[in-house]
Amino acid sequence: MHQFLQQTFSGLGAGAIYASLALALVMIYRATDLVNFAQGEMAMFSTYIAWTLVNAGLPFWAAFFITLFISFAGGMAIERIVIRPVESAPVLSAVVVTLGLLLIFNATAGWIYTYTLQEFPSPFPDRPLFGALMTTRDLGVIAVTLAMLALLFVFFRFTSTGLAMRAAAQNPESARLCGVRVGRMLAIGWGLAAAIGAIAGIMVAPVLFLDPNMMSGVLLYAFTGALLGGITSPVGAVVGGLIVGVTENLVGTYLIPSQLKLTVALGLIILVLVFKPNGLFGTAIVRRV
Amino acid sequence: MTRTFGMATGAFAVALVSTVAWAAGQYSPGASDTEIKIGNTMPYSGPASSYGIIGKTDAAYFSMINDQGGINGRKINFISRDDSYSPPKTVEQVRQLVEQDQVLLMFNTLGTPPNTAIQGYLNDNKVPQLFVATGANKWNDPKHFPWTMPWFPNYGIEAHIYANYILKNLPDAKIAVLYQNDDFGKDYLNGLRAGLGPKADKMIVATQSYETTDPTVDSQIVALQGSGADVLMTAAIPKFAAQAIRKVYDIGWRPTHLLSSVSNSVGTALKPAGLEKSVGIISATYYRDPTDPQWQDTPQLKEWLAFMNNHGLSGSVTDSQAVVGYSYAQTMVAVLKNCGDNLTRDNIMKQAASLHNFTLPMLLPGITLNTSADDFQPMKQMQLEKFDGTTWKLFGTVMGSGS
Amino acid sequence: MTQESTATARVSAAAAGPPSLVTWQWTAAAALVAFAAALPLGVSNYHVFELTMVMIYAIAVLGLNILTGYNGQISLGHGGFFAAGAYTAAILMHRYGVPYWATLPPAALICFVLGLLFGLPALRFEGPYLALVTLAMAVAMPQMLKYFDTWTGGQQGINLVKVQPPVALGIGRDVWLYLFVLAVLVIAMRIAANILHGRTGRAFVAIRDHPIAAAAMGIHTARYKTLAFGISTLFTGVAGALSAIVIGFVAPESFGLFLSLSFLVGSAIGGIATIPGAIVGGLFIEFVPNFANDISDAAPWAVYGLAMLLFMYAMPRGVVGSVGHWLTWSKQKFL
């Protein structure tokens, strides 16, 4: 029983990491109908920016907010400069462009910062909770992820920019006719996603340690979690991420030897998707003939 | 007649001079009076990219030697290519190095699968495959692969040392193993099994593996604790070793923790994990950890530090792999120096197989390199050490035979 | 010509049956093949080896083109099928002593069946969901290869005996393997052309462009989509088998996620819904990393990524796709 609780809590901790990146993926998908494969690397790069600032002597929270600002601006710039040219091109071209971005960010980070492992300070103290089932740091990650989710929810539901963004994503032509500046919405969407990614990276780096490949493994799980929850649903992203984390842990402990953990965990999730092809909270795509 | 005699003398003189000039250097492709071309492949990208620093340190060291005049007056042309740890890519790069760039030898190629992919090709073409950067057990095989030579004590030797330690000090131990799911991790596991002998099955109560694409190993550590083990062996690269050390402490588990030499650097693995969480960890080593306080005032470390800072590598002075690269390069330079003007591939192998009590500044005192015609394993010694919260305290003796 | 009349022309041309190549097209194709066959005479062994790899990747990318380009089903997992073909060939050669050329049909068959099995559940998924399912294949394959180590040799991989060229021809191993792979490539392209320009191909394209209309017209969507998967993985599996023969070594590390992504990139850059685009894709996958290394040895993959971006901006339909598009456009404009 103790083992079960341990694994579940461990899974929630890992799941929160996946959920935070999944939120950024969902953000971009809702805003631009694209899966951004470079999301993890962008988050990692933002974290390195924060790390540079902290090393230069800035207090943690100053570095945090400056990084958020830079990431937001950077995300908007990337959408304008890098993604805009392929927006009207076949989807595959956009996919290739995001893959290219992935490589560029990863290689540049490796070049500037080397591949040596770095520590990253955490705003949360590192104390055990619930009798060593969890640490305050893991709880902090979960709390921040839920906070981001709440903010996003409010943003999309109750603000006019959020509404405009949803319109721009669903039907750009009609939105334009209604006076929505579609281009600006897309850029804001990317900016927000980059900022969410930066928060995810900064939360996660104390746990995973900072190196250029920090997010490569996380991206796969975040992608899985986002799709499991429904690629259009932020709530789904968080729930999906948490489920992926816990499933992976329990599967590896009870069902099969650890050497097949990844395979079986993915298999189970795909099995769920077979019954719910749009994810747990996703909306079905209705096709007009 | 004088004329003929004069011509004959002249011809003889020319012949004499050209033979002497010929004897001034015997060369295989890649070597000349002015240059020695050395080929290398390293994973500068991809999941194994943290090892890329070894190649960078090699390059910096050779460049320093060139600044000091080269080896016997010849400059080293070190050509290192990225293979992303993918064997097909390694084959391609090595073929390019050997056939297009015409290198004299391959040095310090990294990784077991990459080296396995090129071993046949290099031996068939009689190109030296020297000082391969892998700890697999199979490279010391001069009978079948006379052109391939490893360098550091392989993981099997290290795991044996751990097994002996356990058998001697903790004979009733229940052992759990965390290992990376590839040749590196498996070599440790199999080496431990072999070292424990018939007691292996009884003593090893749980094993958990992880992939380098896994974000954390927390789940594996929790599962290993659940097995009730009181000894843990971790065969992991620094990132995952640090996570493991931290998680072990956080869940309140206090096993005797044996840590692979690949991840025992104070700066790269223990500090991120938390120095207070790393107290009591036991590891084996053959070189000096640059972040360990006990070596800070030694001239050898100062020299290494100066070298790193003067060659653009100051971002890596906490990375113990840079010490390893430095030592590899020094070995290569020594072998090439011993070749003198005979830079044929045969002679290079001969010199490499003739190391006697060869020491290097950044190795532990007492560790020497020794090779012979039927023993291609240069280093066979390691020493155990225990972490006391600030530094590694060496204990016991240098183990393994020197010769 | 107006849009409508071109469309009618295309439909009636299609209704006339698969196009037979005009004489000059036959001569051009034959000349190209002859040129390719003679190429090894003028280049070093190493370059011959590189070109062989280009052709192998081209066959793999061709498989992906059939599935993603002509049938619209995205796959991020073709590296996994490539691995399946490679290991089939390796195990047959290593364990059962099967001669290298005889491993191609079994590899093709096994990968075809694998593709069908994969294609069935894939029917449920579209877009990013399908991407995930195929991605899972690419990621799970190395794990499974390591796990079933009695068959696959696990992390040690399988080392294969080097192929010996027929003595009578008097050529080296590299040249012989080049010609062997060239022959397979030509056959593969011919088969792909026959399939894609025929009924099956038209069904694929119809399903890609207007799935509901296609179904309404009586095309059995599920059957054709699954078939597309099977045919696609057949091609990629054969490419994998060839790679095992040429490299002489297989290990789980050879078939990581990056391989699958490379195929997709090569496919897009060559021209996703074309056949000759596969060759351009193969050239990109093989040569651009080396060029990138020459340009910057500090961050070569950044240069590679940049190359990907620039190709997509300049030619969003891929090289062959864009060239074809410009030719049609200029024909319409100026003729």
Name the token pair of A142: 């979960």
**Residue C34 to residue C243: CA distance in whole angstroms:** 23
pLDDT at C16 over 60: no
Alpha-carbon torsion angle A129, A135, A137, A140, nearest 10: -50
CB-CB neighbors (< 8 A) of A262 in chain B: 211, 213-214
Q: Considering chain B, what percentage of its residues have pLDDT values greater than 70?
A: 93
Nearest to B120 among C156, C159, C258 (CB): C159
> Which range of residues forms the domain containing residue B148?
35-153+298-381
Residue that finishes a domain, picked among B285, B314, B329: B285
φ, ψ dihedrals at C262, nearest 5°: -60, -40
Q: Can you give the three-state secondary structure of chain C, one letter per residue? A: CCHHHHHHHHHHHHHCCCCCCCHHHHHHHHHHHHHHHHHHHHCCHHHHHHHHHHHHHHHHHHHHHHHHHHCCCCCCCHHHHHHHHHHHHHHHHHHHCCCHHHHHHHHHHHHHHHHHHHHHHHCCCCHHHHHHHHHHHHHHHHHHHHHCHHHHCHHHCEECCCCCCCHHHCCCHHHHHHHHHHHHHHHHHHHHHHHHCCHHHHHHHHHHHCHHHHHHCCCCHHHHHHHHHHHHHHHHHHHHHHHHHHHCEECHHHHCHHHHHHHHHHHHHHCCCCCCHHHHHHHHHHHHHHHHHHHCCCCHHHHHHHHHHHHHHHCCCCHHHHHHHHHHHHHHHHC
Which burial class, exposed, middle or buried, applies to C13 when counting CB atoms under 10 A from its CB (0-12, 13-18, 19+)? exposed
Sheet containing strand B231-235, strands side by side: B204-210, B175-180, B231-235, B256-259, B282-285, B382-387, B392-399
* B213 CB within 8 Å of a chain A CB: yes
* Degrees, nearest 5: CA angle B395-B391-A134: 110
Asked if pLDDT for residue A44 goes beyond 80, the answer is yes
The rounded distance, in Å, linking the Cα atoms of C221 and A150 is 42
CA separation, residue A225 to residues A21, A27, A152 (Å): 9, 14, 17
B292 shares contact with chain C (CB less than 8 Å) = no
- Do B325 and B245 sit in the same domain of this protein? no
Percent of chain C with pLDDT over 70: 93
Query: Could you give the CA distance from residue B29 to residue B37 in angstroms, rounded to a whole number?
Result: 9
> Token match 């990491």: residue?
A17
**Do C143 and B211 make contact, defined as CB atoms within 8 angstroms?**
yes
Residue in B with minimal Cα distance to A245: B219
CB count within 10 Å of CB A263 equals: 20
Confirm or reject contact between A284 and chain C (CB < 8 A).
Answer: no
Q: What ipTM goes with this model?
A: 0.88
Q: What tokens appear for C27 in the block?
A: 């001569």
What is the per-residue pLDDT for C15? Answer: 44
Closest-approach residue (CA) in chain A for C133: A270
pLDDT band for B14, please (50, 70, 90 cuts).
low
- Of C289, C291, C298, the residue nearest C258 (C-alpha): C289
Least confident of A125-139, B345-359, C197-211: A125-139
Q: Which pLDDT value is given to residue C21?
A: 56
Position B25 in a domain: no
- Domain annotation covers residue B259: yes
Q: Where are the alpha helices (DSSP H) in B74-211?
A: 87-95, 112-124, 155-169, 183-196, 200-203
Nearest residue in C to B117, CA atom: C249
Structure tokens at C102: 């005889």
A132, A218, A252: residue with CB nearest B251: A132
Confidence of residue B170 (pLDDT cuts 50, 70, 90): very high
Chains that touch B (3 or more CB pairs under 8 A): A, C
Residues B159 and B233 in one domain: yes
- Reported as a pLDDT band with limits 50, 70 and 90, residue B8 is low
User: Nearest-CA residue of chain C relative to B87?
Assistant: C254
Tell me: do B196 and B135 sit in the same domain: no
Tell me the pLDDT tens digit for each residue of C74-114: 999 999 999 999 999 999 999 999 999 999 999 999 999 99
Domain check: are B101 and B167 in the same one?
A: no
* C293/B contact by beta carbon, under 8 A: yes
Do B160 and B277 sit in the same domain of this protein?
Answer: yes
- pLDDT value of residue C4: 46
B333 domain-assigned: yes
Tokens of residue C312, six digits: 């997509």
Give C35's contacts (C-beta < 8 A, 6+ positions apart): none
- Report CB contact under 8 Å: B88, C254: yes
User: Average pLDDT for residues C103-132, to the nearest whole number?
Assistant: 91
pLDDT surpassing 60 at residue C19: no
Alpha carbon distance C334, B131 (integer Å) = 65
Same domain, B137 and B40: yes
- A138: enclosing H helix or E strand: helix A136-158
Question: Which residue, among C123, C309, C325, would best test binding to A if mutated, counting the most A CBs under 10 Å from its CB?
Answer: C309
> pLDDT by residue (tens digit) across B18-64?
444 444 688 999 999 999 999 999 998 887 888 889 999 999 999 99
Query: With bands split at pLDDT 50, 70 and 90, how would you rate the model's confidence at A62?
Result: very high
pLDDT confidence of residue A286: 62
For residue B132, tell me if it sits in a domain: yes
On whether the CB atoms of residues C300 and B82 are closer than 8 A, the answer is yes
Question: How does DSSP assign A169-183, residue by residue?
Answer: HH-HHHHHHTT--HH
Count of domains observed in chain B: 2
Alpha-carbon distance B394 to nearest alpha carbon in chain A (angstroms): 25
State the distance between the two ends of chain B, measured CA to CA, in whole angstroms.
Answer: 65
Same domain (yes/no): B145, B164:
no
Confirm whether B303 is domain-assigned: yes
Are the beta carbons of C132 and A97 separated by less than 8 Å? no
How many other CB atoms are found less than 10 A from the CB of residue C323? 17
Q: Is residue B347 part of a domain?
A: yes
DSSP state of B110: B
CATH number of the structural domain spanning residue B280: 3.40.50.2300
- Answer yes or no: is B387 within a domain: no
Contact A258 B208 (CB under 8 A): yes
C301 to A101: CB separation less than 8 angstroms, yes or no: no
What is the least distance, in Å, from the CA of C321 to any CA of chain A? 12
C237-244 average pLDDT score: 96
pLDDT at B402 over 50: no
Q: B263 and B323 share a domain?
A: no
CA dist., res. A279 & res. A241, Å (int): 12
pLDDT tens digit sequence for C274-325: 899 999 999 999 999 988 888 887 788 999 999 999 999 998 888 988 888 8
User: Count of residues for chain B?
Assistant: 403
Give domain status of residue B23, yes or no.
Answer: no
B227 touches chain A (CB under 8 A): no
Which tens digit of pLDDT belongs to each residue from A246-263?
998 888 888 777 788 888
- Judged by CB atoms closer than 8 Å, whether chains meet at B243 and A135 is answered as no
* Nearest residue of A to residue C299, measured between CA atoms: A107
The reported pLDDT for the residue numbered B102 is: 95
pLDDT exceeds 90 at position A135: no
Q: Are residues B376 and B341 in the same domain?
A: yes
Mutation choice for A interface testing from C308, C317, C322 by most A CBs within 10 A: C308
Average pLDDT over residues B330-341: 94
Please report where in the chains the tokens 């901790």 appear, as a residue.
A13
Q: In whole numbers, what is the pLDDT of chain C averaged over residues?
A: 87
Q: What value does the mean pLDDT take over residues A64-92?
A: 91
CB B146 within 8 A of CB B123: yes
Q: Is residue B360 classed as helix, strand or coil in its secondary structure?
A: coil
pLDDT level of residue A195 (50, 70, 90 thresholds) = very high
Same domain, B139 and B164: no
pLDDT tens figures, C247-278: 999 999 899 888 999 999 999 999 988 899 99
**B135 and B238 part of one domain:** no
Distance (Å, rounded) from C-alpha A245 to C-alpha A255? Answer: 15
Mean pLDDT of B325-347: 95
pLDDT tens-digit series, residues B298-313: 999 999 999 999 999 9
C273 touches chain A (CB under 8 A): no
Per the CB < 8 A criterion, the answer to whether B238 and B263 are in contact is: yes
Q: Does A34 touch chain C (CB under 8 A)?
A: no
Residue C102: what pLDDT?
93
Rounded to whole angstroms, the Cα distance separating A137 from B46 reads 29
C5 pLDDT band (50/70/90 cuts)? very low
Tokens matching residue A248: 């992976």
Task: Quote the pLDDT of residue C335.
Answer: 67
pLDDT exceeds cutoff 70 at B7: no
- Going from the C-alpha of A184 to that of each of A32, A190, B86, C272, C332, the distances in angstroms are 11, 10, 42, 31, 36
Rounded mean pLDDT, B221-231: 92
Residues of B in contact with C253 (CB under 8 A): 85-87, 111, 113-114, 182
- Best B216, B227, B248 member to test A by mutation, with max A CBs in 10 Å, is B216
Residues B149 and B126 in one domain: yes
Q: What is the largest CA-CA distance in chain A?
A: 60
Pairing of strands B256-259, B231-235: parallel
Which residues in A have their CB inside 8 Å of a CB on B?
2-3, 6-7, 10-11, 13-14, 17-18, 106-107, 110, 113-119, 126, 128, 132, 135, 207-209, 211-213, 216-218, 220-221, 248-249, 252-253, 257-259, 262
The residue with greater pLDDT, B4 or C323, is C323
The shortest C-alpha distance from A258 to chain B (Å) reads 6
Rounded Cα distance, B232 and B205, in Å: 10
B211 contacts in A (CB within 8 Å)?
217, 262
pLDDT score of A139: 86
